[in-house]
Amino acid sequence: MKKKCTKCGEVKSFTNFCKRSYTKDTHKDSFQSWCKKCVREGTIKYINTERGYLKEKYHHIKTASKLYRRYGRISKCLFTFDEFVAAWEKHKSIYGMRSAWGPGPDHLEQHLPTTRIYNGGGGHRRTHSNLSVDRLDSGRDYTLQNIIFIRADENVRKKDTSYEDCKIQIRLHEERFKNEIEERK
């Protein structure tokens, strides 16, 4: 049996369409209206928009916190998607499309530029300059106070942190958790 894709107009077999989750029969209306190829292209196009890319990052944080919980490492995401977008807008107003990892807003020329390029899924096609969300303190939950927007390669290299990187992280940590540090004194 065949069906016409409403996006590309090609007539294809049912194997080229995803089934609708709420139907059990094999009638042509039981399948999505776009073929798998068009759905994939549409998804990639959406994720390459700013909102789509942020949605993907937010979904990853929410999913990761559930996975960590399952395996014993509890790390909750304590903000909504709209709050996440607002945090990104605040970051952009300070740093533009540059990483927060660096000597500070007074020296933006030393902060590396970030990109938002979605290659189609899978960790194997990682773009090193892509925007990444990192926790300043990995022992704390994902909160708006505890996240920064940096590059993927900066996030990956944390395990090989240099002294200069530690000074940057300490400065950022002190800025974000200033009240808690003063209460301890």
Query: 56-99: per-residue pLDDT in tens?
Result: 999 989 887 666 655 566 678 999 999 999 999 999 999 999 99
Q: Is the pLDDT of residue 142 over 80?
A: yes
14-37 average pLDDT score: 79
For a pLDDT cut of 70, what percent of the chain falls above it? Answer: 83
Establish if 13 belongs to a structural domain. Answer: no
Same domain flag for 79 and 159: yes
Contacts of 128 (CB under 8 A, 6+ apart): 151, 152, 153
Give how far Cα 101 sits from Cα of 54, 60, 106, 116, 164, Å.
19, 21, 13, 17, 11
> Considering 6, 28, 48, which residue would you say is the last residue of a domain?
48
Same domain flag for 94 and 159: yes
Establish if 128 belongs to a structural domain. Answer: yes
Same domain flag for 23 and 102: no
Same domain flag for 94 and 180: yes
Same domain flag for 102 and 26: no
Arithmetic mean of pLDDT over the chain: 85
Establish if 84 belongs to a structural domain. Answer: yes
Same domain flag for 110 and 134: yes
List b or e across 22-34, with b for residues whose CB sees 16 or more CB atoms inside 10 angstroms: eeeeeeeeebbeb
Q: For residue 170, count other CB atoms closer than 10 A to its CB.
A: 11
Same domain flag for 89 and 105: yes
Same domain flag for 44 and 118: no
- Farthest CA pair distance, the chain: 74
Same domain flag for 30 and 108: no
pLDDT tens-digit map of 149-182: 999 999 888 766 766 778 888 888 888 888 777 7
The domain of 178 spans 50-184
Number of domains in the chain: 2
Establish if 10 belongs to a structural domain. Answer: no
Same domain flag for 80 and 136: yes
> Considering 31, 48, 65, which residue would you say is the last residue of a domain?
48
Give the closest residue to 149 by CA, choosing from 44, 73, 53: 53
Establish if 14 belongs to a structural domain. Answer: no
Identify whether the C-beta of residue 127 lies closer than 8 Å to the C-beta of residue 115.
yes
Instruction: Look up the pTM and report it.
Output: 0.76
- Roughly what angle, to the nearest 10 degrees, separates helices 81-95 and 50-70? 120
Pairwise CA distance, residues 98 & 106, whole Å: 13
Q: How many residues does the chain have?
A: 185
Position 10: which residue type? E
Establish if 164 belongs to a structural domain. Answer: yes
Same domain flag for 168 and 103: yes
Pairwise CA distance, residues 148 & 111, whole Å: 13
Same domain flag for 69 and 116: yes
Establish if 7 belongs to a structural domain. Answer: no
Establish if 89 belongs to a structural domain. Answer: yes
